[in-house]
Amino acid sequence: MTCRLEKKELEELNATNILPQTPFWGRIKRNQGYLPNGFELTVSKDMLADEADSLSKVGDDLLVLTKYIDKEICYAYVPYGPKLEPSFENQGLFLEQLSESIRPYLPSNCIFIRFDLIWENQWTAEDDYFDAAGNWTGAPSSQVQEYRVNFKTTNWNLKKSVSDVLPKNTFFLDLSLNEKELLKNMRYNTRYNVKKSLKNGVQVKEYGIEHMDEWYKLYLDTAIRHNMPLQNQAYFSTILKNQDNNKNGVQVKMLMADIDGKFLSSMFLVLSKKRGTYLYGASTSDKKNAMASYALQWESIKLAKEYGCTEYDMFGSAPNLKQTHPLHGVHVYKKGFGGDLFHRMGCWDYPYNEKLYDMYKLQELKSQEA
């Protein structure tokens, strides 16, 4: 079993559906203080599946971000990567070998690497982790997860992260369906609200950076209403400025819904290869009966389909319909559009310096409790 890496320029990374593995994402994160690095990853097929031929190989690109915690130490972070997905029993072995292969390319003061895994959560394959109504109840304790994932590894060194960075649960819509089928797949209330919003005179259009002030007003309204951590206006401007505007790169559409010139709802639709992603959404607390967010989402889905996307990522939801979850309302709204709920493995760490990693993990736990 082999795992090999070669350095690759950020802008040379190949087009991919996985938005956080694009040059676009690397540029965004560079503006947030991360150092992006591109690699070409090649592995023997028997690392991905036991029955595969060890002489045959498969490759893909990998974006790795480095972040300094202070002047002395840093960590590496792989957003939604690697894209290559091994069988459940080989996941730990693959991550261990990949972590050791990346290590020589990282600063000597890098204390751990964190993989934000897009792989389907192993425990979704087991009935024990679903309730009687078919709701996913979540993976077992970190200790149980680590015991299974480290199976086959040499160092037994993979740790479940304290928290996840990117959304671990999301809804995917199949855009190979026609518009009539997409509407039919929606819940009755969602379909009704889409039609009602259009009858109410809601109009959805794409706007440029000259309307960023209006976008940000809606965003502030939403963030304050839901007690969300705030991003500054420059961050959203950076998203628009860093798009590639070509079929091989990433396109960003800032969509806003209004009635008679009053903006009620807005979002960023990001188009990456064959996937459309609902990246950020915002709305006013006024005129809720206009159902503007439903017209906005429907227009976004149609635009992604028109662009040539075959899937649409709602980019984040609660893991189930439990009413106490902070994302319950978001989950109900997104579920209404008829997509399939997908559960990812989330963040996993591979420490290079156990002592310093444990100290960092303790600080993460404290900040979570604060």
- What DSSP character marks residue 63? E
Asked whether residue 331 is domain-assigned, the answer is: no
Residue 276 neighbours by CB under 8 Å, 6+ apart:
175, 269, 270, 300, 301, 303, 304, 305, 307, 309, 311, 312, 313
> 287-310 in b/e burial notation, b at 16+ Cβ within 10 A?
eeebbbbbbbbbbbbebbbebebb
Same domain, 29 and 151: yes
pLDDT band at 327 (very low <50, low <70, confident <90, very high): confident
Asked whether residue 106 is domain-assigned, the answer is: yes
Same domain, 211 and 270: yes
Instruction: Give the distance, in angstroms, between the CA of residue 357 and the centroid of all CA atoms in the same chain.
Output: 24
Same domain, 104 and 229: no
Distance (Å, whole) CA 317 – CA 320: 8
Model confidence pTM above 0.85: yes
What tens digit of pLDDT does each residue of 294-325 get? Answer: 999 999 999 999 999 999 999 999 888 888 88
Same domain, 254 and 359: no
Domain range for 226: 176-309
Total of domains in the chain: 2
pLDDT for position 247: 62
Same domain, 202 and 98: no
Average pLDDT, the chain: 93
CATH of the domain at 303: 3.40.630.30
Same domain, 136 and 118: yes
